[in-house]
Each structure stands twice: as structure tokens, then as C-alpha cells.
Chain A
Amino acid sequence: EVQLVESGGGLVQPGGSLRLSCAASGFTFSAHYMEWVRQAPGKGLKWVGRIRNKDNSYTAEYAASVKGRFTISRDDSKNSLYLQMNTLKTEDTAVYYCTRVPAYGLPGPSDIWGQGTMVTVSS
């Protein structure tokens, strides 16, 4: 079964840091670009960023609101995706979803989503 499972969410103070993880299974993780999308409580979906695969040098793209504070990385040997979040702000409070972008030339956008992990930034 194709699956993404996020972990690492929790309560953190403003200015703090948190690292989210996403464990992938059931597919060739290394072949796919991966993304993070977030959703503030009661609000819509917001794209956070993307990391490409090894063939594309693991380069990343970010939304302006997180650029310079968040870093997306991956470990293909562990089938895992990460989101390092630094200098957190109250407006970063959201459910964070890990998503898979179709590979092998298949058309996007993200076709598989994890169940999400909640991040609360509050003093």
C-alpha cells in the first residue's frame, strides 16, 4: 500500500524550531519529487515547498512566507522526507501534509497525501 506518515508535530514557542518527518512506503521514494502543504485551522490549503529527486540534485523551492526559515530535505536510504522549521511564528500554526508528486513523466500535481501532523506555535 502506498503510504505517507508524518510525525514530529507539537507545541512550540514563537522563535523556536521543530523538525517534521514523513515516512514513505509502498513506492520507489527516490524517484519522486516530494512536497509539503499546510493548512491553518479552519483555513484553506497553502503550498509550502518542494524537493526534487537525486537526478535533479535534490534542489528545493519554497513559498515566500517560509523561505529562509524552513528547509526541506530527504534521505532516500530511509525513504524519508523532512521539514526543518526555524524561527517559528504564530502564523505557522497549521496541519502540515507531506505529499508525493507523480514521477516517470506522469502529470502532476501531488497524488498521494499523508494524514498530516499538527504544529502549534504559541507561548
Chain B
Amino acid sequence: DIQMTQSPSSLSASVGDRVTITCRASQGIRNDLGWYQQKPGKAPKRLIYAASSLQSGVPSRFSGSGSGTEFTLTISSLQPEDFATYYCLQHISYPYTFGQGTKLEIK
């Protein structure tokens, strides 16, 4: 199975901060990676697909980059509604695997 190592597992930041979350794959996954945002008690929401493509309707302050084994999700200027848990997901080979999540909290 492909292991997805996400870091950090938690992060405290302030409104207006720039934040970066990293996902590393245990083997190359081309750009077959997505990022999701999940708020408490809610279903995950897709933010990024194909590593760097922004989902329609998602604010442009979210961006993704990377290919192969290293990927990043960047939020350029945190807004109050961005405090949530973020997950990466590889979908190149079965079983698909998620990172363990990054909980983004208000400082």
C-alpha cells in the first residue's frame, strides 16, 4: 500500500497568515492527489484535484503543488472559515490512502 505522510498533524495560526501543509507519498503517484477540507460534523469537501487544480467554487487563496512524492497545500491568507482539518488522498493505486490529517486551529 502507498503510505501518505502528512505534516504537521496540527497547526496553530492567525487570520491573515500563510500556511503550508505537506503530504509525502511512499512511492511516486504522478499528480494523482487531492486535498480535502473537513469541518466538525460535516462531510469532507474537495479543494484541489490533480495535485494543483482548484475545485470550482473554492477561493483562490487555496493552492496545491507537487508531483511524484511530495505535495503541498497552501492557504495564502487564512480566513476564519478556513479553520478545519485537511486531508490529502492518493488515488493512483488501490487501496486509495489518505494522509492522517492536519488540524488547523486558531492561535
Shortest Cβ distance from B38 into A: residue: A45
The distance from the CB of B45 to the nearest CB of chain A, in whole angstroms, is 7
Say which size band chain A's interface belongs to. Answer: 20 to 34
List residues of chain A with CB within 8 A of the CB of B1. 64
At the interface, yes or no: A91 with Cβ under 8 Å from chain B? no
List residues of chain B with CB within 8 A of the CB of A114. 43
List residues of chain B with CB within 8 A of the CB of A102. 49
Contact in complex: A110, B46 (CB < 8 Å): yes
Say which size band chain B's interface belongs to. Answer: 20 to 34
| Stretch with Cβ within 8 A of A (4 or more), from B10-18, B61-69, B91-99 | B91-99
A112 to B37, CA, bound (A): 13
Q: Which of B42, B44, B98 contacts A46 (CB 8 A)?
A: B98
Contact in complex: A47, B98 (CB < 8 Å): yes
At the interface, yes or no: B7 with Cβ under 8 Å from chain A? no
C-beta contact mask, A36-67 vs B, less than 8 Å → 1, else 0? 01000000111100100000000001111000
Measured CB to CB, the residues of B under 8 A from A are 1, 32, 34, 36, 38, 42-46, 49-50, 53, 55, 87, 89, 91, 94-101
18 A-B pairs (CB sep. < 8 Å): A45-B87, A45-B98, A45-B101, A47-B89, A50-B96, A61-B94, A61-B95, A62-B95, A64-B1, A97-B43, A108-B32, A108-B49, A109-B34, A109-B46, A109-B89, A111-B55, A114-B43, A115-B42
Measured CB to CB, the residues of A under 8 A from B are 37, 44-47, 50, 61-64, 97, 102, 107-111, 113-116
